[in-house]
Structure 1
Amino acid sequence: MFESLSRSWEFAKLSYGLMWENKHLILFPVISTVSAALVFASFALPLWQSGQIEEWQAFMDGDPAAREDSAFYLVAFAFYFCNYFVILFFNTALVACALKIINGDAAPVSYGLSFAVKRLPQILSWALLSAVVGVILKMIERMNEKVGVFISSILGLAWTALAYFVVPVIVVDGEGAVGAIKKSTKILKENWGTALSGNFSLGLIGFLIMLPVFLILFLVLSSVAGTFSSFGLTAVIGVGILAIVLISAFISAADSVFKAYLYAYATGKTIPRNVDTSSFDSAFVQK
Structure 2
Amino acid sequence: MTGRFRHGLRVIDASLGVFRARPRLAVLPLLSLAAVGSAYAVLAVAILHYDLVGAVFTSNVVQYSVMFVAIAIASGVGIFFNAAVVHCATRHFAGEEPTVGGGLAAAWAVRRKIVAWGLVSATIGTAFYVVEDTVPGVGTLTHSLFDLAWGLLTFFVVPVIVTDQTDSLRSDLRKIGAAFSRTWGESITAAFGIGLALLPVSIVGICLLAAAYVSASGLAAYAMGVTGGLLLVASIVLAQVLGMIVRAALYQYATDDEHVGPLEALEPDEIFVDD
Higher helix proportion: 2
Once the two structures are overlaid, the 10-residue window that deviates more, 243-252 or 12-21, is 243-252
CA distance 1:257–1:159, shift in 2 (3 Å): same
Per-residue CA shift, 1:181-225, capped at 9, x if unaligned?
221112222x1358965564111211244456667x58x96xx94
Are 2:167 and 1:178 equivalent residues in the alignment? no
The correspondence of residues 50-69 of structure 1 with structure 2, limited to 5 A, is 50-53=50-53, 55-56=55-56, 58=57, 66-69=58-61
**Letter in structure 1 aligned against 2:8:** S
How many percent identity over aligned positions? 24
| Distance in 2, Cα, partners of 1:197 & 1:103 | 25
Partner of 1:39: 39
Partner of 1:250: 238
Count of aligned residue pairs for this structure pair = 270
Partner of 1:89: 80
- Of 251, 254, 257 in structure 2, the residue corresponding to residue 266 of structure 1 is 254
Cα RMSD (Å): 3.2
* Counterpart secondary structure, 2:256: coil
Per-residue CA shift, 1:150-181, capped at 9, x if unaligned?
44333222111100001001111013433222
The correspondence of residues 1-287 of structure 1 with structure 2, limited to 5 A, is 1=1, 3-53=3-53, 55-56=55-56, 58=57, 66-69=58-61, 71-144=62-135, 146-175=137-166, 176-189=168-181, 191-193=182-184, 198=189, 200-210=192-202, 217=208, 225=216, 230-231=218-219, 233-268=221-256, 270-272=258-260, 275-283=264-272
| Distance in 1, Cα, partners of 2:176 & 2:68 | 24
- Tell me the CA shift for residue 31 of structure 1: 0.6
The 8 Å contact of residues 29 and 82 in structure 2, kept in 1 or not, is answered as yes
**Letter in structure 2 aligned against 1:73:** Y
- Tell me the CA shift for residue 25 of structure 1: 0.4
Per-residue CA shift, 1:95-121, capped at 9, x if unaligned?
110111112211110110011111112
TM-score by length of 1: 0.80
Larger Rg: 1
| Distance in 2, Cα, partners of 1:81 & 1:40 | 11
The 8 Å contact of residues 7 and 279 in structure 1, kept in 2 or not, is answered as no
| Distance in 1, Cα, partners of 2:52 & 2:244 | 36
Structure 1: where are the runs of 5+ without partners? 59-65
TM-score by length of 2: 0.83
- Tell me the CA shift for residue 3 of structure 1: 3.5
